[in-house]
Amino acid sequence: MNEIIEGFRTAIELIITLNPEVIEISIRSIIISLSATLIASFIAIPTGSLITFSEFRGKQALVNIIQTLYALPTVLVGLFVFLLISRAGPFGFMRLLFTPEGMVIAQTVLILPILIGLTISSLKGIDTTILDALRSLGATKMQFLRSVVSEARYAIMAAVVLGFGRAISEVGAAIMIGGNIRGHTRVLTTAISLETSMGYIAVSIALGIILLLIALVINLLLAIVQNR
């Protein structure tokens, strides 16, 4: 019990005194996961809209596959991206292994299915009268898609926040692709894993608190936007 209390005390100290290493790791985590989320959104929202409003054979099967991939294990993404970007792999020449960019790619792959899938769900939830109205007003395909995405924006934003949460909290791909290099690819989750294995519980707790605080801030921001 003492260990836990002591851990929390030191943790709060580390945060209040703005321990440079803790701050650096936190900022890196946010940047990497935010980049992945934004890139994934950029791909997923148009893709999800297209899938929703196009009719083609195997559409339901595709949606099922996407939804299955919500449960994509992070280590599997790690392995897959590792094989692609390791120097012996097809994209090895780009030297992306053990870099923050490589981690962004892995996290993007990881959260793409969630973002596409939830975009589809969000758009399905739109009142059909709006869709009919848009069509009858003679909206072009682009105008149509923009309007419906705008109509479903809160649900889509919630999906984006969920994707960010999954990206910043995953450890499997981050450690395989980043290698947990101090000052380079060490992020909150891999640092927690390392510090715990080295017996530095206080630092782990501090990093864990920060991770939750980041999630809290992002959710508060979302709530503010949604209530506006």
Closest approach, Cβ 14 to other proteins, in A, equals 14
**Closer to other proteins at the Cβ: 58 or 199?**
199
CB closer to other proteins, 65 vs 217: 217
C-beta neighbour count of 16 within 10 angstroms: 8
Shortest CB 20 distance to other proteins, Å: 5
The number of CA neighbours under 13 Å toward the Cβ of 134 is: 20
Distance of closest approach, residue 65 Cβ to other proteins, in angstroms: 25
**Please, what's the largest Cα pairwise distance for the chain?**
69
> 28 or 166: whose CB is closer to other proteins?
28
Radius of gyration, alpha carbons of the chain: 20
Which of 117, 103, 80 shows the shortest CA–CA distance to 34?
103
CB of residue 184 to other proteins, shortest distance in Å: 6
Least separation, in Å, of the C-beta of 60 and other proteins? Answer: 27
Residue for token pair 């934003």: 157
Q: Which is nearer to other proteins, 74 or 119 (CB)?
A: 119
Q: Which residues of 46-62 are buried (b: 16+ CB within 10 A; e: fewer)?
A: ebbbebbeeeeeeeeee
* For other proteins, the closer CB: 32 or 116: 32
Distance in angstroms between the alpha carbons of the first and the last residue of the chain: 44
**Interface residues toward other proteins, by CB under 8 A:** 20-21, 23-24, 27-28, 31-32, 34-35, 37-39, 41-42, 45, 86-89, 92-93, 95, 97-98, 100-101, 104, 146, 149-150, 153, 156-157, 160, 179-184, 197-199, 225
Rounded to an integer, what is the distance from CA 144 to the centroid of its chain?
A: 27
